[in-house]
């Protein structure tokens, strides 16, 4: 029996149409999931309400109509939200109960608040800030290393042997690295 627009049937007929028990139909009525007109059930409106529930709230599915949509609520989600949502979440979200969805939402909110607190307290920093600081420090190190040859050229000309040259270069590098370390501690 295919429902026609604006078709009204009894609860027993709706149960048969839906492939469920009369008890389930009465339960849906108590939950407000059946659209009633007097003592009759509005088939199209009730089907829409029942199919919009999370899959986990639809019963065991043993008597489920084979032509019923699997996740009609997902079809009502705006395309830009679906495009920005990882596929793993979309496929698993269709199976979440309301309690599970609320639990996950609360966890996400708590994690967001914790991150905001950590940012304000200085426990974590933004990657862009770290990147800018590291780039500036690398620039200082690069400049200091590139200054060494011109600074050492005259002194190296006066060195009589290889060991003396190594000693002068090592002393200059040590001085440069110490100055950079002192600069880092001062900041």
Give residue-wise pLDDT tens across range 23-46. 888 888 888 888 888 889 888 888
Would you give the distance in Å from CA 2 to the centre of its chain? 41
Pair 170, 140 in one domain: yes
Distance CA 42, CA 6 (A): 7
Tally of structural domains, the chain: 3
pLDDT by residue (tens digit) across 133-169? 888 888 888 888 888 888 888 888 888 888 888 888 8
Does any domain span residue 158? yes
Structural domain harbouring 20:
8-75
Pair 59, 12 in one domain: yes
Segment (H or E) for 9 = strand 8-9
């Amino acid at each position: 029996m295919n429902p026609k627009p604006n078709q009204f049937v009894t609860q027993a007929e709706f149960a048969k149409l839906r492939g469920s028990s009369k008890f389930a139909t009465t339960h849906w009525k108590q939950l407000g999931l059946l659209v009633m007109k007097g003592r009759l059930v509005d088939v199209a409106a009730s089907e829409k309400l029942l199919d919009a529930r999370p899959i986990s709230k639809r019963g065991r599915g043993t008597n489920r109509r084979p032509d019923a949509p699997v996740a009609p609520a997902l079809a009502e989600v705006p395309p830009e939200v679906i495009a920005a949502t990882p596929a793993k979440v979309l496929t698993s979200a269709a199976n979440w109960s309301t309690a599970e969805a609320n639990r996950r939402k609360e966890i996400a909110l708590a994690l967001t608040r914790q991150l905001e607190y950590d940012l304000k307290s200085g426990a974590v920093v933004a990657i862009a800030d770290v990147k800018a600081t590291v780039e500036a420090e690398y620039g200082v190190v690069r400049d200091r290393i590139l200054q060494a040859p011109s600074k050492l050229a005259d002194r190296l000309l006066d060195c009589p042997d290889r060991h003396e040259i190594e000693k002068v270069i090592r002393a200059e590098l040590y001085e440069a690295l110490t100055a950079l370390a002192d600069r880092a501690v001062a900041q």
